[in-house]
Every structure is written in C-alpha cells, then in structure tokens.
Amino acid sequence: MDQHEAFLCRFLKHQAEIRAFIGSLVRDHHSCDDVFQEVSLILWRSFARYDPGHSFGAWARGIAAKKVMQSWDKVGRQPVPLAPEAIQAVLDAYDRTENTSLPKADALHQCVERLPETQRQLLHLRYADSLKLDEIAGRLSSTVAAVHKALTRVRARLHTCVERRLAVGEA
C-alpha cells in the first residue's frame, strides 16, 4: 500500500471522529467545516511525519486542537470559548474513548454474528433501515408489542454477550 492509500485508509476511518471533535469546540457549523477542511489539508501534507506506531486519531485531534485555537485567534474580538486546559480535557476524553471503544465494537460485532438470522434481521430493520416499531411490525406481520419485546430481548442478549467477551478478553 502506498502512502496515499495509507493516508486515505486512516483518514476515512477517523474522519467523523475528527469532525465531531472540532464540532465539540467550534459551535458555528460553517466555521467547523472550514476548520475541518484546513485540518484535512494539514493532515494530508504532513502525513509523511506521522508515526504509524501511534494512534492516527490522537495525532489528528492534536493538529485539530491547534487549528481550532488558531481560528479563535483570528477572530480576536470575540471571547475564546474554551481555555487551552479545557481543550486538553476534551482531547484526553477522546483518547480514552478511542482506546476502549474498539474492543467493545469488535465484541458487539462478534455477538451480532452469533445471533439467529431472525434476530439479526430484526436489528437490521430497526437500526440499519431506521424503521419504527410499527413499521417493523407491519413488515413482519406482527404486533408492535411483540416487536418491542423481541428487540428488548435481543438487546439484553447482546449486552450480556459483549460483557462476557470483554471480561474474558476475547474481543
């Protein structure tokens, strides 16, 4: 894989997270988009200096934090929304989340794959297709109460499965 492909793989994986980080610090939607574009260019141009032994997300958020503070310096007359210490706290929170969310996601994926087809179909209708309970009931020729009960049971089963996998370190 060449450097361009390596960058794209990492960037696309973390794109939403980088945008969310910037959005948590920059309230104006248009300003957030502008900062995100600038950060994306900086990441692209400086990717050769990225150390693959470290988290791409953390590296990108560090650059984004600096860019956000620079954008606040440009407006000058407006009060700075957050102190640098607050931005560091947000960075630390993202880092903690990044380090713990992947095992949970892996465990959840493995648990979903072990579900019977009917339960996977129910989850797909609810979460992938974003259907409401009455719409699912109509598709499955069932009642809303039955769909609700089935989803509750599937969620409980998934929760138990994920907790077990994380406890034994299988994920």
pLDDT of residue 44: 94
**Structural domains in the chain, sorted by start:** 1-81 (1.10.1740.10), 101-171 (1.10.10.10)
In the chain (171 residues long), the average pLDDT of successive 10-residue segments reads 85 90 85 92 93 88 90 61 69 64 74 91 86 93 94 90 79 41
pLDDT of residue 171: 41
43-82 core/surface letters (b: 16 or more CB in 10 A; e: else): beeebeebeeeebbbebbbebbbebbeebbeeeeeeeeeb
pLDDT of residue 134: 94
pLDDT of residue 45: 94
3-state secondary structure of 83: coil
pLDDT of residue 99: 53
pLDDT of residue 97: 62
Quick one: residue 169, left, alpha or beta (phi over 0 = left, psi -120 to 50 = alpha)? left
pLDDT of residue 52: 85
